[in-house]
Structure formats: C-alpha cells, structure tokens
Amino acid sequence: MPELPEAETIARGLAGVLAGKTIRDVTVLREDVVHGSQARFREALADRRVSVVGRRGKNVVLTLDDASRVVVNLGMTGRLVPGPGSGPAPGSTHPAVLLHLEGGGSLAYDDVRRFGRLRHLSAAEWTRWSRRLGPEPLSRSFTGRRLAGILSRSRSPVRSLLLDQRRIAGVGNIYAVEALWFALIHPRTPAAAIGAGGVTRLHRSLRRVLRAAVQAGGTTLRNYRAPDGNEGRFRRRLAAYGRAGGPCLRCRAAIERIVFGGRSAFCCPRCQPAPVPLPAEGQ
C-alpha cells in the first residue's frame, strides 16, 4: 500500500498537470471506489478548479476552488494516471473514475483490485476528517518531544504504534521497519519502554528515511508507479524490509522476519535486541 513518500511523489507529479485546471465533468466507471453517492460526487466536482494538489498522511488531496477536497486513498493497487485526451491514458489498464479537464486532458483513477476510495469532503468535513489523523512526521511541529509524548502513552509494540494513522500520519510498514532498524530498536519493543536516547534516534531515523524515500520517488515492490510511469527507486536502499536471511548492513548477522499484528516485520537480532516486557500495571 502506498505510504507517505509514494503519496507525496504522486502529489508532486500531478501538481503541474492539475493545479489551475478546471474539472469539466466526471465519469464513474466503478461505483464501489467512490465514497457515498456517485451523483453527488460528480456534482461536487463538475466545473470546479483544482487550486492545490497535496497530501495528508497516505492520501493524495485535491483542494478545489470552494475549499472542499477530493481525498484519494490508493488502497493496494490504486494509481492516478494523467492522459492527453478525454478518455483514459494508454497506461490506465483498469480505469475506475475519470476526471475530464477543461481544454482537454484527463486524470484516471486506475485500480486493479479496487480497494482504494475517492471521497469529496466539504471544507468543514475536511477539517473534522483531518483532525482524526495524527501529526505529519515531516512537519516542523513533529519534534522529538512530541514523539516522546506519543510513545509514552502506549504499551503497544512500537511498530504497531507507528502504523496507527491516528497517532502519526503517513507511516506504513516499510518505513516503520526501516526507521526502527536505523534507530536500533526492536519492532516489538513496547512504545512506552523506549528511553530518551531511543526516542531521539527514532525521531531522527524516521524523518531521515521518509525524506530519502521522497527523494527517491518512493518504493516500488509491485504495483506502485509515479504519475509519469516511473518506479520508485528506494527499494535498492532498503536496509531491513524484505531482506530476511540477508546480512545486516551493520553487523552481518542474518536479518530475521517476525510476524505480529497480522504484518511482517524485519529486524537484526544482534543490533535490535528483543525487548524486556514492561511490568504490569500496579507493579
């Protein structure tokens, strides 16, 4: 599933294509990818100008000229593919929604498995929706102290906390695993058990990994592509994720794969020692 770096790459790639353009009409080819009534969705977007293309968490966000938003969650296989004509671009193999642009051109939401969703939110709905998400980890306000406060309130494994979009927005499994490897923290470590030094390392590592992945255009493991069709280049820089059995780049011990919370995690058993459980409440 696309994470913060992939959504950021897509938003940046579409900014030059969409910003300032007016949506003339909308064709919904697959109703199940549109949240709510497709008729209301079409009516809300028709004849509206796209003022900003941005991102919130893992979502690509189109801000319209009435301050409402189109929020695009790409799910597992969703893509946003610009095209020169009114129909889907040649690269769009499974179009689900088409935005027809004034003066020609289109934007296709393409999704093989159709797990993604598009929704239109009024300005007030957007504010309420956005407030339910955690802070952006690349924002100036996401300080080490703020991360420490988030961690201190949870006994959940730190990898699980990093994936909770209500705590921190945009981080998925790939970049959580990578940040924890750089920070020398085992993925199962209870969040509240991470000391001050670990918090500092994790804050620095998380931001460094996310910035590097954005610069590389994200990570392509299977389906993800940028709007220009290019794959993300960060895969070749992965230190832990997907490298089970391979040598740790620090100590040469074999990277291990562990499964918890229904998701795989990867870590070095030597550099990231298994955690000591927290005492029960009242002890």
Using a 10 angstrom Cβ sphere, with 0-12 exposed, 13-18 middle and 19 or more buried, the burial of residue 262 is exposed
Q: Is 2 a catalytic residue?
A: yes
Q: Is 21 a catalytic residue?
A: no
Q: Is 137 a catalytic residue?
A: no
DSSP assignment, residue 234?
G
Q: What are phi and psi of 111, to 5 degrees?
A: -155, 110
Catalytic residue, from 3, 6, 8, 178: name it: 3
SS3 assignment for 110-137: EECCCCCEEEEECHHHHHHHHHCCCCCC
Catalytic residue, from 2, 82, 157, 227: name it: 2
Catalytic residue, from 211, 263, 269, 275: name it: 263
> 163 near 262, Cβ under 8 Å?
no
Gap between the Cα atoms of 243 and 261, Å rounded: 19
Q: What is residue 249's three-state secondary structure? A: coil
> What number of other Cβ atoms are within 10 A of residue 77's Cβ?
18
Q: Is 3 a catalytic residue?
A: yes
Residue ranges of alpha helices (H) inside the chain are: 4-18, 38-45, 123-131, 144-152, 158-163, 173-183, 196-215
Catalytic residue, from 24, 48, 58, 159: name it: 58
Active site members: 2-3, 58, 263
